[in-house]
């Protein structure tokens, strides 16, 4: 094989090899979005986190503003301590409301932040005071059924 032709082909091979890695990093994965953005941590306590997972998104007004970085069980209060990593460019007021929501009927669970009206912002390492737990579908259904059943009795009594 001619030396120049070989050089050319090895060059092409190496370049498209790196281009493929770059494609995987930028187009396929979230490398550009999250890896190097500076973040700060805030914690939130929930009675029940449902199916929330580490690395789940934190959204405000539907826009991803951070990720769940850690989930721990607190054996003193029997609550779940969830640590959120929020992008440093977003600040939230002290009375922000955190709730665990589900995207779609069968989708993943995420934390939704509803900003309040407070003047002071949550500092890095601070905590969110007002939280709402995940909605457990079974509880909701049973509540609905019990309500229906008691309504039925009332109707029967009126007749």
Partner 1 sequence: MNMLERFFRVVGRNTINRVWRLGFAARFFIALLAHSGETFRRPRLLLRELFASGVLSLIIILVSGLFVGLVLGLQGYDTLQRYGSSEALGILVALSLVRELGPVVAGLLFASRAGSSITAEVGLMKATEQLTAMDMMAVNPLARIIAPRFWGGVLSMPMLAALFTAAGIFGGWLIGVVFIGVDEGAFWAQMQANVNFVDDVCNGIIKSIVFGVAVSLIAVFEGFDAVPTAEGVSRAITRTVVTSALAILALDFVLTSFMFRGL
- Residue 79 sits at the vertex; the CA angle it makes with 133 and 113, to the nearest 5 degrees, is 40
> Closest Cα to residue 124, out of 73, 46, 66, 64?
66
Nearer of residues 27 and 153 to partner 1, judged by Cβ: 27
Does 63 sit near partner 1 (CB under 8 A)? no
Q: What span, in angstroms and rounded, lies between the C-alpha atoms of 144 and 104?
A: 20
We find the least distance from the C-beta atom of residue 20 to partner 1, in angstroms, to be 4
Letters for 79-118 (x = contact with partner 1 by CB under 8 A, - = none) are: ---------------------------x------------
Residue 44 tokens, joined = 């939130």
Does 37 sit near partner 1 (CB under 8 A)? no
Does 73 sit near partner 1 (CB under 8 A)? no
């Amino acid at each position: 094989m001619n030396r120049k032709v070989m050089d050319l082909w090895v060059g092409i091979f190496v370049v498209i090899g790196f281009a493929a890695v770059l494609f995987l990093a930028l187009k396929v994965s979230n490398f550009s979005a999250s890896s190097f953005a500076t973040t700060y941590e805030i914690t939130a306590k929930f009675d029940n986190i449902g199916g929330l997972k580490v690395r789940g998104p934190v959204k405000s007004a539907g826009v991803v503003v951070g990720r769940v970085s850690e989930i721990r069980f607190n054996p003193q209060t029997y609550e779940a301590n969830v640590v959120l990593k929020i992008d440093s460019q977003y600040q939230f007021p002290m009375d922000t409301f955190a709730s665990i929501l589900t995207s779609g009927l069968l989708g993943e669970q995420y934390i939704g932040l509803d900003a309040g009206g407070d003047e002071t912002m949550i500092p890095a390492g601070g905590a969110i005071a007002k939280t709402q737990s995940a909605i457990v579908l079974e509880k909701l259904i049973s509540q609905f059924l019990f309500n229906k059943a008691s309504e039925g009795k009332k109707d029967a009594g009126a007749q």
